[in-house]
Structure 1
Amino acid sequence: MSRSIGLAHIIRHDDGTSTGVWGIYTLQSAFQPIFAFKEGKLSITAFEGLIRPFRDGEPQSPAAFFGTCPAGDRLHIEALTRTLHLLNAGACLPEEASIFVNFDPSVFTDRSIADKALRDMRLVLHEAGIDPRRIVCEVTEQRSASQETLYAFVEALRANGFRIAVDDYGADDSDINRIKELKPDIVKFDAQWITQLMESGAGFALLTAMVQSFENQGIRTVFEGIEEGWQLELAEKSGASMVQGYVLARPELAPTSFRMFGKSVQQPPAEMSTASAAVPAPQARSAKAFGRKVAP
């Protein structure tokens, strides 16, 4: 089997996990659970792969790492980070969970580049033992070489059996057009925008209407950045399909403890009522009107 670009920078470990090496940086995968609402309970349904760079053993911010990388290396680094996440997902995540991985459309400037990246990704999925149908490709908001190139790239992802998610949706005109043109399976709502809408009754009504509109189109929704219990309550009331945030679970470096949440566990700790997951408890919300603090 030929080797992908990403595999050339991978170091395997005895516990089954992998790390990446790029110049002076060591790269590790972290995974954050994404929870689905089902009959008043929350259950882990997916994980998002997040890169965690280290320099001389000290953690660095992803932004700092990517800021040091020349533009010409971005395509290779993107391949490396996806490869790392997929190998680690195969080693330490539940076999039924979906896996969200990022794609920066700006690096796929023509179809031949996209085809090569997807061939490499299929090799990695085969090695990791991951069904392509588990993969959700998050298309970030960076600009592509052209709209036609972006649409062709997204269709190539679909042709390989992957699902499509639009990331950081915030209801700007550009966001609405992305939904119309890309026809994603999932929309991830921008965390800051969600918080702003939750701070007023009118904003929450708009949020609920948008969730329902996507639902009517067969598009599932994810609310990102849920950090407080009252946000979790409102997310459920809005009809959001899924939620992600620190109030539920923080990212864990591979190897994670998340494999215990697989089907073999009869009563997984990941399944909880929304009331038990909310922090603070629902009755503590008397000092808030939606998200905005009010005088007692």
Structure 2
Amino acid sequence: MSRSIGLAHIIRHDDGTSTGVWGIYTLQSAFQPIFAFKEGKLSVVAFEGLIRPFRDGEPQSPGTFFGTCPAADRLHIEALTRTLHLLNAGVCLPQEASIFVNFDPSVFTDRSIADKALRDMRLVLHEAGIDPRRIVCEVTEQKSASQETLYDFVEALRANGFRIAVDDYGADESDINRIKELKPDIVKFDAHWITHLMESGAGFALLTAMVQSFENQGIRTVFEGIEEGWQLELAERSGASMVQGYVLARPELAPTSFRVFSKGTQPPSTEDGKASAAASPAAPTLHGRPARVFGRKVTP
């Protein structure tokens, strides 16, 4: 079996983790937990793989790294980052947790590219000892060079046991069309958009209606970018399945401490106390402390 492009740029370390090398950059995986609401509590059910570039030992922003990469390299970098996350997930994350990895639709310009991406994924998952059913393929908002190729690729992923998520959903016409065409298992709402909707009663009602519509269709919903306790409370009230954000847990570089999490574990508290809502998620009716309604503090 041919070696994938991603594996060719991987360095293995004694602790079992891996780093990637691309030109002058060293690439590391970071993982951020995704929590599910269940019976008034939060539990870790998944992790999203995020790339963290370094140059001469100094951290660089992902935007800086991707901005300096020629367009011709994007396909190979996509393969490398996915490979890196999957290998590290195999040694750093709980075995029952789902793993979200990003796919940039713009790189899938023809069927041969999509077919190779699928073969490489299966090869890496076999090496990492990960069941494909744990993988959620997160299709980002970039426009595909070939919509037909993208749709065929998504169907092939689904046929091989992978789940599909649409990222950065914001109810634009293009977002609605993505849902219709890709038929995802999961929808991740755009962080800025949900924060804006949470600022008013009418906006929150609209957000809740959309969440309920997706959930009624069997599509699970994720609110990302949750950074404050009041957002977490409203996310629960909206009926969203899952939440992700700094108020709950920040991304950790591999090797992470997340392997200690298992089903039913609660998120750790943070030094500044911002995660207190995560440790004991608030019910819609709050007692014993000021309530927050649509982002505004209300004195009882």
Q: Which residue is 1:167 aligned to?
A: 167
1:45-99: CA deviation from partner (whole Å, max 9, x where unpaired): 0000000000000000000000000000000000000000000000110000000
Give the superposition deviation at 1:275: 6.4
Q: Which residue is 1:107 aligned to?
A: 107
SS of equivalent to 1:33 = strand
> What pairs with 1:33-72 in structure 2 (closer than 5 Å)?
33-72=33-72
Q: Which residue is 1:242 aligned to?
A: 242
Matches of 1:39 and 1:153, distance apart in 2: 36
1:291 maps to amino acid = G
Matches of 1:246 and 1:240, distance apart in 2: 17
Q: Which residue is 2:142 aligned to?
A: 142
Give the superposition deviation at 1:289: 3.7
2:267 maps to amino acid = A
Q: Which residue is 2:294 aligned to?
A: 290
1:12-46: CA deviation from partner (whole Å, max 9, x where unpaired): 00000000000000000000000000000000000
Is the contact between residue 247 and residue 277 of structure 1 (CA under 8 Å) also seen in structure 2? no
2:41 maps to amino acid = K
1:57 maps to amino acid = G
Is the contact between residue 42 and residue 278 of structure 2 (CA under 8 Å) also seen in structure 1? no
RMSD of aligned Cα (Å):
2.1
SS of equivalent to 1:193 = helix
**Structure 1's 293 and 115: CA in aligned 2 closer, same or farther, altered over 3 A?**
same
Q: Which residue is 2:15 aligned to?
A: 15
Q: Which residue is 2:94 aligned to?
A: 94
After the TM superposition, list the runs of 4 or more consecutive aligned residues in structure 1 that deviate by more than 3 angstroms.
267-279, 281-286, 292-296
**Structure 1's 285 and 169: CA in aligned 2 closer, same or farther, altered over 3 A?**
farther
SS of equivalent to 1:28 = strand
SS of equivalent to 2:187 = strand
Superposition TM-score, scaled by structure 2 size:
0.92
Q: Which residue is 2:272 aligned to?
A: none
**Structure 1's 16 and 235: CA in aligned 2 closer, same or farther, altered over 3 A?**
same
**Structure 1's 65 and 293: CA in aligned 2 closer, same or farther, altered over 3 A?**
same
Give the superposition deviation at 1:154: 1.1
Give the superposition deviation at 1:146: 2.6
Is the contact between residue 114 and residue 149 of structure 2 (CA under 8 Å) also seen in structure 1? no
Is the contact between residue 226 and residue 243 of structure 2 (CA under 8 Å) also seen in structure 1? yes
Superposition TM-score, scaled by structure 1 size:
0.93
SS of equivalent to 1:44 = strand
Q: Which residue is 1:268 aligned to?
A: 265
SS of equivalent to 1:196 = helix
Is the contact between residue 36 and residue 241 of structure 2 (CA under 8 Å) also seen in structure 1? yes
2:65 maps to amino acid = F
2:77 maps to amino acid = I
Is the contact between residue 41 and residue 281 of structure 2 (CA under 8 Å) also seen in structure 1? no
1:186 maps to amino acid = I
**Structure 1's 205 and 269: CA in aligned 2 closer, same or farther, altered over 3 A?**
closer
Which of 154-163 and 33-42 deviates more? 154-163
Amino-acid identity (%): 88
Q: Which residue is 2:122 aligned to?
A: 122
2:38 maps to amino acid = K
Is the contact between residue 228 and residue 278 of structure 1 (CA under 8 Å) also seen in structure 2? no
Q: Which residue is 2:177 aligned to?
A: 177
